[in-house]
Structure 1
Amino acid sequence: MSFSIEGKTAIVTGAANGVGLAVARHFVDQGANVMFADMDEARLSHECGEIPEDEGNIRYFAGDLRERLTLANLLSATIDAFDRVDILVNGSRQVMPSDPLDPDDDSFETLMKQNVTNTFRLSQLVAKRMIKQSEGKDEGQAGAIVNLSSIAARRTQPELLSYSVSTAALDQLTRSLAVAYAQYRIRVNSIALGSVMSASLKDALKKNDDYREQIEDMTPLGRIAAPRELAEAVQFLSCEGAGFVTGQIITVDGGRTLLDPVGAPAH
C-alpha cells in the first residue's frame, strides 16, 4: 500500500493561509506538483515566495474563485504548468455569523456559493480533465477530490446557521459526486474539521482569552490540532493507498463530536 503522492499534480484552493496553506506546503514537501490557488493575491504571493522552488513544482494562481471563468483559468494554468491534474483539494471555505431573524442577512447566499457552489463547479471541471487523462487506462485511480468541511455540519448553532447548512450541503455534495464519479475511477471524500489552528481560530483566540481553554476542555485529546495534522489526513485520502475509500466524511476533531453539547463553539 502506497501513501506517496510524489510526482502527482494537485490544485489546492484556499492556499494563502490556514489549513489550505498547510496542505499545499505539505504536498510540496511530499514531492507533488502544487498549484496554490486563492483570492488573496498579496498573501498568496508572499507565502509562495517563502517556499523554495524545487525543480519547478510550485505555481500559484490568484483570482476570484467565485467566477466560472476564473475557475476555468485556474485549471488551464495548472495544465499549462504541469500538463495534468491528479488531485483537487477544495480548501477554500468561509465562515460568517448568521442572524436567523434578519431578512437582510445575506450570509446564507454568500456561504452556499463560497462553500458549496464553487466546490461543485471546480470539481466538475477538474473531473472532466481527470477522465480525459485516464482514457485508455483500465485500472488505478483517475483522480482524487478532497473537500474540507466542518463538524459544524452536524451541530445546531443558530448564530452559525448559514455555515452549518453550507457544510452539511458540502458533505452531501461529497457523497453524491463520489457515486457519480465512481465509474470514472475518481474518488471524492471530505474531511470534517474540528478545532484547527487556522487563521480564523487565531483571530478568535486573540479576542477571547478563555476561548482556548474552553475548546481544549471540550476536546477529549485536550488540544487544538496543528494544520499539518489535517494536511496528512488529506494526503491519505489523495493517495493510491486509499483507493477503496470514497464518499466518506472523515472526522478529524480530537474526539470533540463524541462529547460536544448543542451550542458549543464551532471552531
Structure 2
Amino acid sequence: MENAAPTLIGSVQRALRLLEAVGEHRQGATAKQLARKAGLPLATTYHLLRTLTHEGYLRRVDGAYVHGEAVGALGRHREVREGRDAISGALDRLRQELGAATYFATYRDGELEVVDVSEAPGTVAVEEWADFRATGNAHAIGQCLLGQLDREGRLDYLSRHRPQSLTRRTVTDSTTLLRRLEARHPGRPVLEQQEYLAGVVCAAVPIMVGAAVCTIALSLPVAQAHRLPATADRLATRVGAVVDRLSFTI
C-alpha cells in the first residue's frame, strides 16, 4: 500500500508564509503587501496577522508589520536545544572513554544546576537522594563550582544553603569548607570520596563555557576508588577539546 500523503494544516502553512514574507521586508510591510507576497486573500491575511500579533510573533509599527519577540525566542530555543544536544553527545563519549558516569553542571542565578547526565549499565549515575542544588558542600560538582566563585559568591551560596551532614565524611563547618575551597588549585580536578553518598567517589573538572561557570564530572563505585585520580586526570586532559565544541546557552 502506498504511504498516505501527510496531513497538512492549511492555516499553519499560511501563517508561516506570512512570517517568511515579513522577514523579507526589513522595514516592515503592510497587510496588502504581505497578502500579495504570500499569495493570500486580504481577509485571510488580516485574520492571520491579528493572531500572529496577539501571540507576539509580529508587531505593528506605523501600519506595517515586523517580527515580534516571539520569533527571536524561537531561535534562542533552537540554540539552547542544539547546545544541550552537544553537551549530551560529549558526555556520552566521555562516559564510554573513561568507563564512568559523567555529568555537566553549571552555577546559574546563585544556584547549582546539573544540566545533563550520561549513564549506562555498568556506569550508573549517583542517585540524587539529597537535593544536589542544596548540598554543594558535599559533592564534587558543588565543590568545583563553588571553588570557581569569589569569596562573596561562596558566602552568598552558603548563607542560603547551610552545609549538611550527609555521611560521616561530609565537611559541615563553613570555615573549614571555605578554607578548603580557597586552597584548591584552579585547574586541578576536585576529588570527593563518599562525602555525598557512601559507596561512591567522584571527581569534577572546572571549566568555563563562554562566561558561564561550569564543570564536567564523573562518578565511580567505591570499589573502583583506586581509579579515581588517574581517571580524573584523563578527564581534565579531555575537557579542553570538549569545551571547544560546546555552545551552551544559559
What TM-score results when the alignment is normalised by the length of structure 2? 0.27
Q: TM-score, normalised by structure 1?
A: 0.26
Q: Relative to total residues, which structure has the larger strand share, 1 or 2?
A: 2
Which has the greater radius of gyration? 2
Which structure carries more relative contact order (alpha carbon 8 Å, separation 6+)? 1
